[in-house]
Amino acid sequence: MTRVDFYLLATSDPHSRRVTACRVIEKAYRQGHKIYLHTSSEDETQMLDDLLWTFRQGSFVPHEVHPASAEAPVVVGHGAAPEGMSDVLVNLGEDVPAGFERYARVAEFIDEDEAVKRAGRVRYKQYKDGGYSPETHKLDGGA
């Protein structure tokens, strides 16, 4: 069954939320996982595409924007996930992504922004109602 983790950030800065997601993606990539980063819009997809190259001095996270080749270790997009990916789904979107259950792990990032928290509560309940047992992890500070 898919493991669902909610990471709770003690900031309302959307940039910190995105950078934290990039750090988790980098860690998963270094562990050999394939990752789909789901965003809420084309603009956010472009923003994360750029951020994955620059979020940390010396970082290297090879990625492509969806649709991408099957060889890309990290894919960023705002639509349905690419076929063949099933390791890690990082969700920065507002809804539970369709097909999330095919992934071994889902990572959700919630900051102190009221709209983000409200949408996160809805997703948490959807996972619970679907028989999943989401775990929460409080993170200190921001990016």
Please tell me which residue, 71 or 13, carries the higher pLDDT value. Answer: 13
Tens of pLDDT, residue by residue over 100-109, are 999 999 999 9
Distance CA 83, CA 75 (A): 11
Cα-Cα-Cα-Cα dihedral sign, residues 92, 96, 98, 100? positive
Cα-Cα-Cα-Cα dihedral sign, residues 19, 34, 105, 28? negative
Distance CA 25, CA 33 (A): 9
Averaged confidence pLDDT in the chain: 93
pLDDT attached to residue 103: 97
Torsion of CA 109, 112, 115, 121, to 10 degrees: 60
Distance CA 59, CA 106 (A): 22
Q: Among 18-32, 50-64, 81-95, which range has the highest average pLDDT?
A: 18-32
CATH for 108: 3.40.50.10110
pLDDT attached to residue 83: 83
pTM of the model: 0.94
* Residue 35, Cβ density class (10 Å: 0-12 exposed, 13-18 middle, ≥19 buried): buried
Among candidate residues 46, 70, 74, 48, the one with its CA nearest the CA of residue 61: 74
pLDDT attached to residue 140: 78
Residue 142 above 70 pLDDT? no
- Cα atoms found within 13 Å of the Cα of residue 129, Cβ hemisphere only: 7
The boundaries of the domain holding residue 28 are 3-139
Tens of pLDDT, residue by residue over 13-53, are 999 999 999 999 999 999 999 999 999 999 999 999 999 99
Residue 143 above 80 pLDDT? no
Residue whose pair of structure tokens reads 């775990």 in the numeric block: 135
Question: How many domains does the chain divide into?
Answer: 1
Residue 141 above 60 pLDDT? no
